[in-house]
């Protein structure tokens, strides 16, 4: 029965994608795999992109308008980002998302210009069709609050690169009513809570903007000093 339902979903997805979206073909794809930055805080982003052959990599192009936040809902010891990356490559469930974040690791599973199936709002919904999905781990052997802080840094970098604002960051709950990200919505396990998480993102975003402005000023300063030195040499 489950396989039958999966087949029905896959067929609907294919028909819808043919009618309404741009399918991506292997070998004929300009992939915008990831962010320009390769590090978030001091964590390198690991790219472990789902192979083309996996049915739950939908291969449908996307321009992101939202970022959707999830909790993994898996408190098992060892259920960290690496475990979820392995799961995604092995599962036959029709589910996929863009990033998994734990207290010390960030792994990317889908290019940022492809949709994933994570929001529970079908093939017509903005959640699946137009949002970058981030899963935050809640493994019992991890530091959950640190995982949220790492996710806030990643979200800030995405907002900055895609010129989005904080209003475009939404909980999974927004799309389908599911109680996800449960820890944040219920403020459990020391979670920053949804509002606290939004504030953390805004703080990280201001840091990125400030640092960027600072480096632009430093570049202008260096240019002015060079020009002054040139004039001075000519005067001598």
> What is the binding site for Zn ion (CB under 5 A)?
70, 172, 180
Q: How far is the CB of 52 from Zn ion (least distance, A)?
A: 25
Pairing of strands 99-101, 169-171: unpaired
Helix (H) or strand (E) holding 6: helix 2-20
By beta-carbon proximity to Zn ion, the closer residue of 132 and 180 is 180
Q: How far is the CB of 73 from Zn ion (least distance, A)?
A: 7
Report which of 181, 132, 127, 186 is spatially closest to residue 155, judged by C-alpha positions: 132
By beta-carbon proximity to Zn ion, the closer residue of 24 and 154 is 154
Query: For tokens 């010390």, what's the residue?
Result: 104
Edge-to-edge, what's the strand order for the sheet holding 39-40? 39-40, 43-47, 106-108, 99-101, 131-136, 66-71, 169-171
Beta bridge partners of 45: 106
By beta-carbon proximity to Zn ion, the closer residue of 62 and 97 is 97
By beta-carbon proximity to Zn ion, the closer residue of 159 and 180 is 180
Polymer length of the chain: 236
Q: How far is the CB of 79 from Zn ion (least distance, A)?
A: 15
Report which of 128, 126, 125, 124 is spatially closest to residue 115, judged by C-alpha positions: 128
Residue 120 has a CB neighbour count (10 Å cut-off) of 16
Q: How far is the CB of 216 from Zn ion (least distance, A)?
A: 38
By beta-carbon proximity to Zn ion, the closer residue of 111 and 171 is 171
Q: How far is the CB of 154 from Zn ion (least distance, A)?
A: 16
């Amino acid at each position: 029965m489950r396989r039958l339902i999966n087949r029905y979903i896959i067929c609907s997805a294919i028909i819808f994608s043919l009618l309404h979206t741009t399918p991506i073909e292997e070998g004929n794809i300009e992939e915008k795999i990831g962010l320009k930055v390769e590090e978030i805080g001091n964590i390198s982003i690991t790219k472990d992109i789902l192979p083309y052959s996996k049915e739950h990599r939908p291969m449908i192009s996307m321009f992101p308008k939202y970022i959707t936040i999830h909790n993994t809902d898996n408190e098992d010891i060892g259920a960290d980002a690496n475990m979820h990356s392995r799961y995604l490559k092995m599962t036959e469930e029709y589910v996929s998302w863009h990033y998994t974040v734990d207290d010390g690791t960030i792994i990317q599973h889908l290019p940022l210009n492809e949709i994933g199936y994570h929001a529970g709002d079908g093939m017509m919904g903005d959640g699946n069709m137009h949002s970058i999905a981030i899963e935050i781990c809640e493994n019992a052997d991890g530091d959950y609050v640190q995982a949220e802080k790492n996710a806030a840094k990643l979200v800030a970098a995405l907002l900055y690169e895609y010129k989005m604002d904080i209003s475009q960051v939404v909980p999974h709950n927004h799309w389908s009513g599911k109680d996800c990200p449960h820890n944040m919505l219920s403020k459990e396990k020391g979670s920053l809570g949804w509002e606290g998480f939004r504030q953390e993102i805004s703080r990280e975003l201001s840091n990125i903007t400030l640092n960027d402005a600072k480096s632009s000023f430093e570049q202008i300063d260096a240019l002015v000093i060079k020009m002054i030195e040139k004039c001075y040499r000519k005067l001598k």
